[in-house]
Amino acid sequence: MTPDHYFGSSLGIEGPTELNATTMARVSWRRRSRGCLFTFHRAAASDVWANLPNRKFYLDLDFLDRFLTYLKQKQWAVVTIDEAIRRASLNKAGDRYVNFSVDDCYRDTFEAVVPVFRRHGVPLTLYVTTGIPDGTAALWYTGLEDVIATRERVKVGSQTIETQSILAKRKAFRQVSSAWDGPCADEHYAAFCRSNDVDPKAIRESHAISWDMLDTLRNDDLVEIGAHTMSHARISSLTRSAALAEIAGSGERLRRRLGVPVRHFAFPYGRRSDCGPRDFDFVREAGFASAATTRKGLIQTSSAPFVLPRNTLNGSHQNIAIMEAHLSGLSGLAAKWLHID
């Protein structure tokens, strides 16, 4: 169960995680500088989003537009990671700022997400997994979802799974992706493609961001480009040499191919159990200025630049009250208390 479960439309919190007025007052950070970093992966139009097997992975573009409008109305500044770190160091009273980052980066990042931020005139950080534009990442989760979304039944091993209804598609994706998740996922997906007469290259190319797209974005003053490994590896599971190759290699590939500075890195798996001091040191050694995690919370003056907290946006939580839980730091506190960050 995620901490967001405890923040419904009323922000009601029950049982042992109930927050009293004193805690709420502490969360206000005594009017100090407050920075909140958000991250998500994909986005889709409302009519498409409603029918996606893995819709939690996608933001509804209409909700994203409304949220950006809300932030402007409430006088939150939308900034780059560079600027967020600078503001955190200054700790100016009353300063409120947010950053949005897209992890991995897909075709919809270029075609749908960046245009929303352009319309609002605010920046966006892209943490690119270089295996996606290079064509070396199989994108098994994307391919699995695509096939389930477009078929009335799929073959998985010796089983045939019916996927005629939206609920059946969501259940099938959840069960199969959970079973595959791990070092053998690409092999499972390759066998799945053969069984279902699917062209994995065609599916990958229909979803992947390309170097041509990134070439266009590198010239956009509102786009900040960071690194997200080459293969979306879990850094904590790798040896020192393999980890440094993934971290440094992704930055070097982006700098060489795009000719832009790449100062910031984000862990593909960024919870407390997924990356630790050893891994933060690797990012520092690779020459980056920061490392972003997916530990919930707010960025503060005391936040180490190589352990930046980010709040992952769940596509199903289309509610400003839940966004306020992130902006206030409540979701971060809940995650820590529940030991799920």
The predicted-structure confidence for 279-289, as pLDDT tens digits, reads as follows 999 999 999 99
B/e letters for 210-243, b = 16+ CB within 10 Å, e = fewer, are eeebbeebbeeeebbbbbbbbbbbbbeebeeeeb
Q: How far apart are CA 145 and CA 140, in angstroms?
A: 8
Give the chain's mean pLDDT. Answer: 91
Other Cβ atoms less than 10 A from the Cβ of 269: the count is 17
30 pLDDT higher than 90: no
Residue 338 confidence class, pLDDT cut points 50, 70, 90? confident
Strand partners, 98: 36, 78
59 pLDDT higher than 60: yes
Name which of 154, 212, 157 is nearest 187 in CA terms. 157
Higher pLDDT, 23 or 254: 254
Query: 């480009």: which residue's tokens?
Result: 225
Q: Which two tokens stand for residue 221?
A: 């003053």
- pTM greater than the 0.85 cutoff: yes
Report pLDDT for 55.
95
Name which of 310, 211, 205 is nearest 260 in CA terms. 211
DSSP state, residue 102 = E
What is the mean predicted confidence (pLDDT) over 79-97?
Answer: 95
Residue 25 confidence class, pLDDT cut points 50, 70, 90? very low
Q: Which two tokens stand for residue 119?
A: 């319309």
Q: Residue 20 in 3-state DSSP?
A: coil
261 pLDDT higher than 80: yes
Strand 290-292, strand 311-312: pairing: unpaired
List, in order of start, the domains of the chain with CATH numbers. 3-13+31-135+211-338 (3.20.20.370), 140-202 (no CATH)
Q: How far apart are CA 195 and CA 154, in angstroms?
A: 9
Contact 296, 341 (CB under 8 A): yes
Q: Which two tokens stand for residue 114?
A: 């960046």
Report pLDDT for 123.
98
Contact 201, 189 (CB under 8 A): no
Report pLDDT for 165.
97
Report pLDDT for 6.
35
Q: How far apart are CA 124 and CA 83, in angstroms?
A: 12
Q: Which two tokens stand for residue 255?
A: 């700098």
Q: List Cα–Cα distances, 207 to 121, 145, 191, 201, 279, in angstroms.
A: 26, 11, 20, 10, 30
Question: Percentage of the chain surpassing pLDDT 90?
Answer: 85
